[in-house]
Amino acid sequence: MKFLDFEKDIESVENKILDLEDSELNYTTKKNQLEIKREKLLKKIYSNLSPWQKVQVARHSNRPHTLDYIKYIFNDVILLHGDKKYSDDKAVIGGFAKILDKSVMVIGTEKGNSMESRIMHNFGMARPEGYRKAQRLMRLAEKFKLPIITFVDTAGAFPGKEAEERGQSESIASSILVSLRINTPIISVIIGEGGSGGAIGLATADKTLMLEHAMYSVISPEGCASILWRESEFTQKAAETLKLTAQDCYKFKIVDEIINETYGGAHRFPENQASLVKKSLIANLNSLEKVNSLDLVTLRNDKYLNITSSV
């Protein structure tokens, strides 16, 4: 487990637990005492994280990604590939799945969990064909009257020259447009980083949910600091200024619900976190199923018009 810079006390206790030997006198008692101490530290630290600390948690290398949530939450998964125009972008994954007995279309950005998989998934930064694949799957879901669930975890769309040549901006805008027009329920979950327009392309939904220690912002703190102050040392100040935390986004009605994380963050207890996400998804699916499809589109568009008019 990688420890963040504000977790030194937790790391110290963890090391003491690891250093205990089974043969040691009062082993069980000492271990229990240390585990209790660790739990208290986790609760104390994670109940009062600063915006910059939340950014670090959102980017943690062990934080569960889209494929992890698909594994823990869904069954009968059939992944689909390609945009039918250019190629298959592995930064965006999606396909048919079931949550309990409900058939859905699940789509998400995937960062990868190892160096090989991160390179394969382009660190979760989608190219135009990734957004066009998402659009194809959304339209397919509409055809079969399936709800859509998206998972967002990306620093932003891929900024490379070839992506721009293939219409990066247009593909993101088209994804937002399709999301606003589709007449089937859409639920989006921001599970880690929600960066810039690359995130909005998949986060435009009837219900936008956000994990407690995730981030959702128009620009990264580093990018903001380099533009406004031209100094990287202002990164923490930028994180505070951007109002990128789940609590800020909920306050400004940018997201509809905050999903609590277990103390210590989603990266420590991925299965437990997935069960909390699953519970919220089922509740929101049941709620949206009661809304007429025409009303659904109207309410969705009104929601985003209200956000833009209030900013």
Query: Which residues in 23-33 are b (16+ Cβ under 10 Å) and which e?
Result: eeeeeeeeeee
pTM: 0.93
What are the residue ranges spanned by the domains of the chain?
A: 8-48, 53-310
pLDDT tens track for 211-251: 999 999 999 999 999 999 988 789 999 999 999 999 999 99
Give CATH for domain 53-310.
Answer: 3.90.226.10
In the chain, where does DSSP find H-type helix? 8-19, 27-46, 51-58, 66-73, 115-120, 128-143, 161-165, 168-181, 196-203, 221-228, 235-241, 246-251, 270-288, 293-310
Question: How many CB atoms neighbour CB 44 within 10 A?
Answer: 12
Q: How far apart are CA 71 and CA 275, in angstroms?
A: 11
Q: How far apart are CA 105 and CA 151, in angstroms?
A: 11
Quickly state the pLDDT bin for 79 (edges 50, 70, 90).
very high
pLDDT tens track for 249-283: 999 999 999 999 988 999 999 999 999 999 999 99
Q: Are 155 and 195 in contact (CB under 8 A)?
A: yes
Listed residue (130, 120, 305) closest to 201, CA to CA: 130
Q: How far apart are CA 285 and CA 155, in angstroms?
A: 27
